[in-house]
Amino acid sequence: MFEALISGLLQVFSWPAIGYLGFGIMLGIWLGALPGVGGVTGLILLLPFTYTLDPVSAFALMLGMFAVTTTSDTIASVMLGIPGTVASQATVLDGYPLAQQGQAQRALGAAYTCSAIGGVVGAVILTLSIPLVRPILSSFSTPEYFMLALLGICMVGTLSSANIAKGLVVAALGMMMGTIGDGTFNGVPRYWFGVEYLLQVPPLVSVVLGLFAVSELLDLATRNTSISRVSKVDVRDGTMLRGIKDAFRNWWLVLKSSALGTYIGMLPGLGASIVDWAAYGMAVQTTKGENKFGRGDIRGVIAPESANNAQRGGALIPTLTFGIPGDFAMSILLGAMLIQGIRPGLDMLTTNLDLTYAMIWTLIIANVVSALLLMVIGKQVARAIFVDGHYLVPIVMLFVFMGSWLGSKVIGDLILMLLMGFVGLLMKRSGWPRPPLVIALVLGPNMENAFTLSNRIYGNFGWLERTPSQIILVLIVLTVLGTILAQRRRRRREATEPAVEPAADLPNLNAKLSIEGGERNPMISLPFAGVLALLFAAAAIIAIDFHPAVRLYPMMISITAVLLLLGILWTDYREARSERVEFGSWRMTWAEALKKSDFIRGLYFCSWIAATIVLIWLFGNTAGVAMFMGAYIIVWGKKPWWVGVIYAVGGYAFITGFYDELMHIALQRPAILSLFGGGG
């Protein structure tokens, strides 16, 4: 084994493998930092190049790129409050509030350090665990995969919200969105209402960018502020070095999260989706004394960033030993193995053991090198939090528009992004958490497959008699009850502790920062809950006519959500009635609610996005987005006209050079050509 370990290291450092590894690392840093692109897109782009490479060079290129995307995706999560990838959702909860407090450098420093350590720990655990995991994974069947996915959703629903019921309802909404389109077994479309676009599950990227990006960019666009809510001179000890020290100071949390991430990564189809939330939940549950989770606690960055990098090593285990991809990205890597004539299984632990170790060394080197590189540039990146927000909005919107387009490359994806942006705005301003919807949409289709198949094999819910499923069920109950008790203790502590006045040089900072799902606006939440209740009730009624094999799953979700919503409606009504007494009339209460939620300005911002979608349809992606960028700078941002021209030209050139020429993305063909007889 030791000889194979050294042989794998020497192969990675041989030429040209080390050159391809370096190129993969640089590419991964770039792709991970772009919202909506990420490692999977990079793997797809690189796959054709592996045909002409030797195995070590091929995997150095692909793994080198893929391993670092969960490091560089922290940039979007911390700086913009937009999850760079699915695995960085939990980082947003505390990373973005730290940036708003002017401590982006600290958050990035801690994240990069933990990412490097997590990647190394994950690779080491992978090395030690390879001979031991076969019997463990062999004991899991379809019921356990359903229960594990349900555990992940419950973790997110309870941990990401100040209101557990709302978190679970939002998770149910994501699960229901996953039922749109072709049925699991009979192939009959559900909930498509004759709209061809709804024959497929809504693309994840458009949903994520809409929910998170639009509402966060609205703040920058309408409040004439920078990302940071405090001035640069008011920031106290928010340096990169402090973040690095934070990581080593919390070394035990780093190691625990890394180990947890590695073993969760072994779970096929689940690892990348729930790993950051599992680590975040562990940090919340095991932290004693005072904490600021959700408002800028550095441990809320350390835990998920340690786990999501370690997950990469864990995901390799089922891929190499069983040929079962740990996630979609691993399925692409499995394709690269087959292209190279390499078969997963026992050979990867015997005759090809040196290649297995070469992959592990690639993960270690890529994580360490990328963390060091990002620390070098991190100080310059972090300066963006003090830049006038109007200069950032059009640049970020370029990636939002193009990231959404990458899903199905149809206008429908952009419309979906706009719709989810409006929904995200309502959710953020009325106390509904957004992350549960995303994680449930990711896991939902596979959950339904496992649920339906389990019922067919064991009879309806007969699989609950399996010991592994019962153990996971106990964990689900403990997760929900533990979070309820923790929230009650926190509320009692906050009620008894005296309010702390903000420092004189940081006025109203506490009012500007809020935990995800923690805002209170019952006049907006009440009608939103009512609409959700009607939607779930209608979904349950429609499901009655579905094939029996695919009827139970959506009906269970809908009925559960309606029951939870009844309690939410009553609570929101009582709070709304209290506000009505405070403001004297329902009209004044509505006016105050709309002002508090930025509803009118939110509609105005959404109208700009809608107009841009029309421009994209008429003139194509390059011209449409470029016109938005120029118009925003001049009209909304009130900057000089020549600045708008620079933005428009720069946006046009970037889309043409990167997305069209380099990535070869099929762009929208201008409809104006057809309208005026040029459709050929």
167: pLDDT strictly greater than 80: yes
For residue 72, pLDDT beyond 60: yes
Confidence band of 499 (pLDDT split at 50, 70, 90): very low
- Judged by average pLDDT, the poorest of 40-49, 273-282, 363-372 is 40-49
The least confident of 17-26, 27-36, 193-202 is 27-36
Given a cut of 50, is residue 511 above it in pLDDT? no
3-state DSSP of 520-570: CCHHHHHHHHHHHHHHHHHHHHHHCCCCHHHCHHHHHHHHHHHHHHHHHHH
Fill in the amino acid letter for 448: E
- Angstrom distance (rounded) from CA 245 to CA 293: 19
Residue percentage of the chain with pLDDT more than 70: 75
pLDDT band at 197 (very low <50, low <70, confident <90, very high): confident
For β-strands 189-190 and 181-182, DSSP reports them as antiparallel
* Confidence check: pLDDT of 224 > 90: no
108-112, 274-278, 418-422, 651-655: which has the minimum mean pLDDT?
Answer: 274-278
pLDDT at 500 (0 to 100): 40
pLDDT, mean of residues 577-605: 83
Helix (H/G/I), strand (E/B), else coil: 402 = helix
Does the pLDDT at position 246 exceed 80? yes
Q: In this model, does residue 564 exceed pLDDT 60?
A: yes
* Per-residue pLDDT band at 230 (split at 50, 70, 90): low
Question: Do the Cβ atoms of 316 and 326 come closer than 8 Å?
Answer: yes
3-state secondary structure 269-318: CCHHHHHHHHHHHHHHHHCCCCCCCCCCCCHHHHHHHHHHHHHHHHHHHH
The answer to whether the beta carbons of residues 510 and 502 sit under 8 Å apart is: yes
Confidence of residue 505 (pLDDT cuts 50, 70, 90): very low
Whether pLDDT at 353 is above 70: yes
For the chain, state the CA radius of gyration: 25
Q: Band of the pLDDT at 644, cuts 50, 70, 90?
A: very high
CA-based nearest residue to 305, from 360, 366, 253 = 253
pTM (predicted TM-score):
0.72
Q: What value does the mean pLDDT take over residues 132-154?
A: 72
Q: Give the Cα separation of 51 and 49 in Å (integer).
A: 6
Kindly list the distances between the CA atom of residue 383 and the CA atoms of 75, 103, 110, 305, 407, in Å, as whole numbers in the listed order.
12, 10, 17, 21, 31
Closest CA to 304 of 88, 564, 475, 99: 88
Question: How many other CB atoms sit within 10 Å of the CB of residue 504?
Answer: 6
pLDDT higher than 80, residue 553: yes
Segment among 49-63, 230-244, 344-358, 625-639 with least mean pLDDT: 230-244
Question: Among 370, 117, 365, 372, which residue's Cα sits nearest to residue 246?
Answer: 117
pLDDT in tens, 425-449: 888 888 888 878 877 887 788 788 8
- DSSP 3-state of 181: strand
> Treating both helix axes as pointing N-terminal to C-terminal, what angle do 104-129 and 240-249 enclose, rounded to 10 degrees?
40
| pLDDT surpassing 80 at residue 671 | yes
Of the two residues 146 and 224, the one the predictor is more confident about is: 146
Indicate the SS3 state at residue 623: helix
Q: What is the mean pLDDT of the chain?
A: 77
* Separation of first and last alpha carbons in the chain: 64
**What integer is the mean pLDDT of 631-652?**
91
Q: How far is CA 14 from CA 50, 52, 173, 355, in A?
A: 17, 17, 51, 13
Average pLDDT over residues 581-594: 83
Position 258, amino acid:
S
Query: How far apart, in whole angstroms, are the C-alpha atoms of residue 206 and residue 36?
Result: 8
Tokens of 600: 């009118």
How confident is the model at residue 539, as a pLDDT?
93
Kindly report the three-state secondary structure assignment for every residue of 439-495: HHHHHHHHHHHHHHHHHHHHCCCHHHHCHHHHHHHHHHHHHHHHHHHHHHHHHHHHH
Does the pLDDT at position 503 exceed 70?
A: no
Domain boundaries, the chain: 2-136+144-494, 599-674
Residues 6+ away with beta carbon under 8 Å from 358? 7, 8, 9, 11, 12, 17, 56, 59, 60
Integer Cα distance of 357 and 8 in angstroms: 5
Residue (of 122, 184, 156, 470) closest to 326 by Cα position = 122
The pLDDT confidence band at residue 568, using thresholds 50, 70 and 90, is: very high
